């Protein structure tokens, strides 16, 4: 298929795409459909802070792809466009800044560029942040997106709340955003009462809403006549059935475009959309696995290893599918955690991890009937164990390396 000229494809104009950027999950459209109420609610919650009063904290949650990040960013842009106000704002993507130290450094460096450099201790950062706020009684709005990923979240929330009692004039208003609907149950009661002063839920989109979202985006992202209504509707219907996730719907249609392009076609067919939906789901699952909290990642890692070296473990064959016994996964997880010198989490927490992983579609499980060692849970990965193994090894290795460079920042303010 490839021609002889190196990079020939690079300069070839696409017959499918008019603007790929518009189809990327990071693109934020000018106007967000069906979210006027949520945007108004966020603005209402932040209005006191914009007036220079410390407002009530806000907690926003809803499944992935329900528009939380886009709505928040839209509001942030509007705030930044306001004429002089005392409020400052920091948006923290906790997938990247996933610890108290990293989040605080990010907040500090947003407003005091010197803190973009590494190596400042947390006490120093904390104190500078406080005196910067007190200088002229600022109100700092801190948006923590995907807050559930922060490893030492209770510490982070505690530090930011504590700051409010240390600050003599001005203050900090918190906005927490989570994709995990059950997140409330995991929080320390103190953090919970801090965050839940106000709450806002983003419901999943239904199929017709998703179709409108996809259609609007396809109009800009694809060349004229490439995508018809049937292709739009199908990608919306698949995503609605899965989860009501706009990101999935958009990923399906753009992946379908890539498949059509690879075949040198100039239309996207229903068949392309069907094929794309399989890829898109998988891609999203891998992204999710890469950013799981550490111990859940280790559990998935244990399952992946056991699925690969199947013969050494007792898998139970149900038709063509092999399942692994939950208890054996727990022992394998424990020995992996030990060998990495991590505290092994108890069996109760482990069962919660399993339930969470299943809810995210990363594993499937079922309770066996009587017979096999009484009742036991049988578990299987939903995606390729080899790919998952490689992915987790990459991400674990990266984080270990970073932590070692970070010792300077581990002292806690007290």
Residues that bind ligand ADP (CB under 6 A): 25, 27-29, 32-35, 62, 64-70, 179, 213, 246-247, 250
Cα three-residue angle 49-127-196, rounded to 5 degrees:
40
Least distance from C-beta 319 to ligand ADP, angstroms?
35
Number of helical (H) and strand (E) elements in the chain, helices listed first: 14, 9
> Per rule CB under 5 A, is residue 69 in the interface with Mg ion?
yes
When the beta carbons of 69 and 191 are compared against Mg ion, the nearer one is 69
Give me 282's structure tokens.
């998988």
Q: How many residues bind Mg ion (CB under 5 A)?
A: 1
Span interacting with Mg ion, options 66-74, 185-193, 289-297, 376-384, rule CB under 5 A: 66-74
When the beta carbons of 32 and 336 are compared against ligand ADP, the nearer one is 32
When the beta carbons of 34 and 286 are compared against ligand ADP, the nearer one is 34
When the beta carbons of 211 and 300 are compared against ligand ADP, the nearer one is 211
Give me 50's structure tokens.
């914009």
Provide DSSP, 213-271: HHHHHHHHHB-TTTS-HHHHHHHHHHHHHHT--HHHHHHHHHHHHHHHHHTT-SS--HH
Least distance from C-beta 330 to ligand ADP, angstroms?
31
341 φ/ψ sector (left φ>0, alpha ψ -120 to 50, else beta): left
Q: Is 136 exposed, middle or buried (0-12, 13-18, 19+ CB in 10 A)?
A: exposed
By the 8 A CB rule, do 246 and 239 touch? yes
Minimal CB distance residue for ligand ADP: 67
When the beta carbons of 32 and 344 are compared against ligand ADP, the nearer one is 32
Span interacting with Mg ion, options 25-33, 62-70, 251-259, 369-377, rule CB under 5 A: 62-70
- Say which entry of Mg ion, ligand ADP, none residue 85 contacts (CB below 5 to 8 A, set by partner kind): none
d(CA 268, CA 112): 48
> Per rule CB under 5 A, is residue 269 in the interface with Mg ion?
no
When the beta carbons of 146 and 261 are compared against ligand ADP, the nearer one is 146
Minimal CB distance residue for Mg ion: 69
Least distance from C-beta 222 to ligand ADP, angstroms?
15
Helix or strand (DSSP H, E) at 102: helix 100-111
- Say which entry of Mg ion, ligand ADP, none residue 34 contacts (CB below 5 to 8 A, set by partner kind): ligand ADP
d(CA 23, CA 283): 15
> Per rule CB under 5 A, is residue 326 in the interface with Mg ion?
no
What are the residues facing 58 on neighbouring strands?
175
């Amino acid at each position: 298929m490839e021609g002889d000229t190196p990079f020939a494809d690079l300069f070839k104009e696409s017959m499918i795409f008019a603007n790929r950027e518009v189809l990327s999950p990071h693109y934020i459209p000018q106007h967000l459909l069906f979210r006027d109420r949520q945007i108004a609610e966020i603005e209402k919650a932040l209005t006191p802070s914009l007036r220079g009063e410390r407002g009530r904290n806000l907690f926003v949650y809803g499944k992935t792809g329900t528009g939380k990040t886009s709505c928040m960013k839209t509001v942030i842009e509007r705030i930044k466009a306001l004429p002089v106000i005392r409020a400052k704002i920091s948006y923290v993507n906790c997938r990247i800044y996933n610890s108290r130290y990293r989040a605080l450094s990010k907040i500090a460096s947003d407003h005091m560029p010197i803190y973009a450099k590494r190596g400042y201790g947390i006490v120093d950062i904390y104190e500078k942040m406080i005196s910067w706020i007190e200088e002229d009684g600022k109100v700092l709005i801190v948006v923590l997106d995907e807050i559930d990923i922060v490893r030492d979240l209770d510490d982070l929330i505690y530090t930011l709340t504590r700051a409010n009692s240390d600050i003599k004039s001005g203050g900090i208003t918190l906005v927490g955003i989570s994709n995990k609907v059950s997140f409330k149950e995991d929080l320390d009661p103190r953090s919970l009462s801090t965050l839940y002063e106000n709450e806002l839920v983003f419901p999943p989109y239904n199929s017709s809403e998703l179709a409108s979202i996809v259609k609007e985006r396809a109009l800009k992202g694809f060349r004229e006549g490439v995508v018809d209504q049937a292709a739009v509707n199908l990608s919306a219907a698949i995503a609605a059935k899965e989860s009501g996730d706009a990101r999935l719907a958009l990923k399906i249609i753009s992946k379908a475009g890539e498949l059509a392009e690879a075949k040198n076609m100039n239309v996207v067919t229903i068949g392309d959309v069907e094929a794309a939906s399989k890829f898109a789901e998988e891609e999203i699952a891998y992204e999710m696995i890469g950013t799981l909290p550490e111990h859940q990642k280790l559990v998935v890692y244990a399952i992946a290893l056991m699925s690969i070296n199947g013969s050494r473990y007792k898998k139970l064959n149900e038709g063509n599918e092999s399942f692994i016994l939950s208890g054996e996964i727990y022992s394998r997880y424990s020995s992996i955690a030990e060998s990495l010198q991590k505290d092994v989490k108890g069996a109760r927490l482990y069962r919660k991890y399993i339930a969470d992983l299943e809810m995210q579609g990363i594993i499937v499980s079922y309770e066996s009937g009587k017979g096999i060692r009484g009742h036991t849970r049988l578990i299987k990965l939903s995606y390729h164990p080899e790919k998952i193994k490689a992915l987790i090894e990459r991400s674990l290795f990266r984080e270990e390396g970073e932590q070692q460079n970070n010792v300077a920042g581990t002292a806690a303010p007290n």
